[in-house]
Amino acid sequence: MDKVKLAAPGPDAEQAAPHFRRVLSRRDLVLYGLVILTPTAPYPVFGIVQQLSGGHAALAYVVAMVAMFFTAASYAKMSAVFPSAGSTYTYAQRGLNPHAGFLAGWAMILDYFLIPLLSVIYASLTAERLLPIVPNWIWAILFTLAITAVNLRGIRMTARASAWLMGIMTGCAILFTTLAIRHVAVTHGWAGLFSLPGFFRPESFSPGPMLAAAGVATLSYIGFDAISTLAEDAVDPKRDIGWATVAVCIFQGLICILTVYLAALVWPDYKAFPSTDTAILDIASLIGGKLMFGALTFVLLVAGLASALTGQAGASRLLLGMGRDGIISSRVFAKIDPRTSTPVRGILVMGAVALIGSLAFRFQLAVELLNFGALTGFIMVNLAVIAHYYFRLRLRSGWDGVRHLLFPILGAVVCGFLWLNLSNMAKLAGFGWLAVGFIYLAILTRGFRIPPKTLASLEEDSSNAG
């Protein structure tokens, strides 16, 4: 295991960029991506997606997967030439220009702030339903302290905890799928498992609501991009980051589509959920009684903690990438603890954000705000692939033209449709966040006359990209 690379003594020591230990294998990266997404990802939003889409949750997840597949391919391309913890920020910065990179990073800050925050919110709601005698705010404090403590121990500890949590979630997902199949087969016969209304209902289909639902469904895929924030923790980032990103996106899509399709077959009347936010718990009671209800409640709690844990790790590394470039405070965010190889201050800031935000935000608004930030960053990464590969490097012939122009265009267009179909409240808050970032960038760059600071090492990466 490599030691943390520290600057040699001298006048430039403080200017040297801190680095992580390279300890994560391809398997670790795939596991990390699946944990941050979780195989139970569609459970919290199933009721919302099913009602928004008019009973087309499975179709909404297909649309979301198409957008995420092409975008995952763009992340894979950019991670191969810019293996940096800055991820989306770095790709837009190097592929487009430093100002675009800042705005992409600013949008993704919103995304990464909200992943652990949203997870803490849902975990607290679930725990409160399991033990209503304990107030929601106490659960929020306990969960935030737990995930922050694990992340402070280092990425290896995070990876080990993720493996245990992933095992629990996978077991429950298999049990839910099995019981759902049994319920449908007993109620409607085996032929009932191949029912068109589980996927498409012509009487209630409308493109607008379905796209709005797909925007919410995107939440179940968001997080695959966080794999790229571990580029400086990976043993072979140029080989493994892209492979893991695409693999996780596809595998997650198949899990989500199967889950929501079966849930729709079990509970076909999408207008009759007792509670939209916890509709999956009522379905669990129907297929497995109190035992399944309790098991699923516990696993939703585990999934929330797992997503919060990995989301906090990814967020702290995005902040590190921006902090090292002087875009945000380098004193706060560009520091790595040499003993644990962790960005301690970034983790603590993320812990504070998760705690405060979990007490102030509503779940559905947090979901849509997260998607606003993520989709903004995704669009810019797709454009960065076109700018870097198709125009700058002129890789246009044959298959290169498909990978470097058609795929990223499709990714950007579908993400753009999903982005435009978010709620007005989410767009208002999201554009407000971008406006603050734009003003901050204007001040930082003296009216856009100078580019934001960049590291010499990133310049080196750029020159080697060809």
pLDDT, one tens digit per residue, over 316-365 is 777 777 777 776 777 777 677 777 677 777 788 877 877 777 777 666 66
Q: Please give the Cα distance from 311 to 304 (Å, whole number).
A: 10
Among 71-85, 222-236, 251-265, which stretch is predicted with the lowest mean pLDDT? 222-236
Per-residue pLDDT at 2 exceeds 70: no
Better pLDDT: 253 or 32: 253
Cα atoms in the Cβ-side hemisphere of radius 13 Å centred on 361: 29
CA angle 3-7-12, nearest 5°? 170
Contact of 376 with 363, CB cutoff 8 Å: no
Domain of residue 306: give its range.
Answer: 24-464
Better pLDDT: 17 or 144: 144
Dihedrals φ, ψ of 459, to 5°? -60, -40
Better pLDDT: 266 or 137: 266
Whether 45 maps to a domain, the answer reads: yes
Per-residue pLDDT at 62 exceeds 50: yes
Dihedrals φ, ψ of 274, to 5°? -60, -40
Dihedrals φ, ψ of 220, to 5°? -70, -15
Per-residue pLDDT at 457 exceeds 60: no
Better pLDDT: 28 or 14: 28
Q: Please give the Cα distance from 1 to 206 (Å, whole number).
A: 54
Per-residue pLDDT at 134 exceeds 70: yes
Q: Please give the Cα distance from 18 to 320 (Å, whole number).
A: 9
Q: Which residue has the tokens 């297909």?
A: 62
Q: Band the pLDDT of 408: cuts 50, 70, 90.
A: very high
Per-residue pLDDT at 461 exceeds 50: no
Number of other CB atoms surrounding residue 398 within 10 Å: 8
Cα atoms in the Cβ-side hemisphere of radius 13 Å centred on 412: 16
Q: Please give the Cα distance from 282 to 289 (Å, whole number).
A: 9
Burial (Cβ within 10 Å: 0-12, 13-18, ≥19) of residue 140: buried
Which of helix, strand or coil describes residue 337? strand
| pLDDT given for residue 225 in this prediction | 74
CA angle 47-53-54, nearest 5°? 90
Region 16-36 average pLDDT: 72
Residue type, 381: V
Domain tally, the chain: 1
Residue type, 127: A
Better pLDDT: 43 or 7: 43
Contact of 360 with 101, CB cutoff 8 Å: no
Predicted TM-score of the model (pTM): 0.71
Q: Please give the Cα distance from 219 to 443 (Å, whole number).
A: 33
Q: How far is CA 140 from the centre of its chain?
A: 20
DSSP state at residue 397? S
Q: Band the pLDDT of 453: cuts 50, 70, 90.
A: low
Region 57-69 average pLDDT: 87
| pLDDT given for residue 20 in this prediction | 61
Better pLDDT: 22 or 141: 141
Whether 7 maps to a domain, the answer reads: no
User: Residue 280 is part of a domain; what is its CATH number?
Assistant: 1.20.1740.10
Q: Band the pLDDT of 123: cuts 50, 70, 90.
A: confident
Which of helix, strand or coil describes residue 24? strand
Per-residue pLDDT at 224 exceeds 80: no
Contact of 163 with 315, CB cutoff 8 Å: no
Q: Band the pLDDT of 452: cuts 50, 70, 90.
A: low
Q: Band the pLDDT of 6: cuts 50, 70, 90.
A: very low
Dihedral of CA atoms 249, 251, 255, 256 in degrees, nearest 10, equals: 10
Q: How far is CA 40 from the centre of its chain?
A: 14
Q: Band the pLDDT of 13: cuts 50, 70, 90.
A: very low
pLDDT above 70 covers what percent of the chain? 86
Which of helix, strand or coil describes residue 342? strand
Whether 109 maps to a domain, the answer reads: yes
Q: Which residue has the tokens 């077991």?
A: 171
Contact of 78 with 91, CB cutoff 8 Å: yes
Q: What is the largest CA-CA distance in the chain?
A: 76
**Which segments of 189-222 does DSSP mark as H helices, in order?**
207-217
Among 80-84, 179-183, 257-261, which stretch is predicted with the lowest mean pLDDT? 80-84
| pLDDT given for residue 409 in this prediction | 92
Q: Which range among 157-166, 249-258, 347-356 has the greatest average pLDDT? A: 249-258
Q: Which range among 84-88, 292-296, 447-451, 453-457 has the greatest average pLDDT? A: 292-296
Contact of 73 with 246, CB cutoff 8 Å: yes
What Rg, from alpha-carbon coordinates, does the chain have? Answer: 22
Q: Band the pLDDT of 371: cuts 50, 70, 90.
A: confident
Q: In sequence order, what are the beta bridge partners of 337?
A: 342
Per-residue pLDDT at 432 exceeds 60: yes
Per-residue pLDDT at 455 exceeds 50: no
Number of residues written out for the chain: 466
Whether 12 maps to a domain, the answer reads: no
Q: Which range among 245-249, 350-354, 458-462 has the greatest average pLDDT? A: 245-249
Region 10-33 average pLDDT: 63
Dihedrals φ, ψ of 448, to 5°? 65, 25
* pLDDT per residue as tens digits for the range 94-120: 888 888 888 887 887 777 777 777 777
Q: Band the pLDDT of 385: cuts 50, 70, 90.
A: very high
